[in-house]
Amino acid sequence: MDIVIDFDGTCVTHNYPDIGKEIGATPVLRELVDAGHRLILFTMRCNDKKKKNSTLDAALAWFHERDIPLYGVQVNPGQKLWTLSPKAYGDLYIDDTALGCPLIFPEEAPPYVDWREVRRILATMEVLP
């Protein structure tokens, strides 16, 4: 499967433009890759040529530091064969703003993805063992 994932509020807590805190995404993302799935990062973070430090580069470094390979960034590399759409195509989307995505609601911060529940759902769907 090609799995499209958001970053802020999904892989880490919300702390833009800085990188948020760990929320349990790393082991599940590694497990997805180990199971043969391809991850596509689809985020509002971008490379601003006017700024020295890019917010997108910071997110990419987060994946690199955790040895989580990305198949694509902002686009599914395979979709250029059949569409010019800027929307990244995927079989599954994991995003803190997606309808039905399991969230944790801290008292004084924006909600973020509940990766324990995501892992359970993925197993129920037979995406993960």
pLDDT at 120: 98
pLDDT at 52: 67
Helices 25-34/115-124 angle, 10° precision:
30
* CATH number listed for the domain at residues 2-124: 3.40.50.1000
pLDDT at 86: 87
Instruction: Kindly report the pTM of this predicted structure.
Output: 0.93
pLDDT at 124: 97
Task: Say whether 52 sits in a helix, a strand or coil.
Answer: coil
Asked if 91 contacts 78 with a C-beta cutoff of 8 angstroms, the reply is no
**Cα-based distances in Å from 99 to 52, 93, 95, 102, 113:** 35, 10, 9, 9, 12
| pLDDT digit string (tens) for the chain, length 129 residues | 999 999 999 999 999 999 999 999 999 999 999 999 999 999 999 987 776 678 999 999 999 999 999 999 999 999 989 998 989 999 999 999 999 999 999 999 999 999 999 999 999 999 999
DSSP 44: S
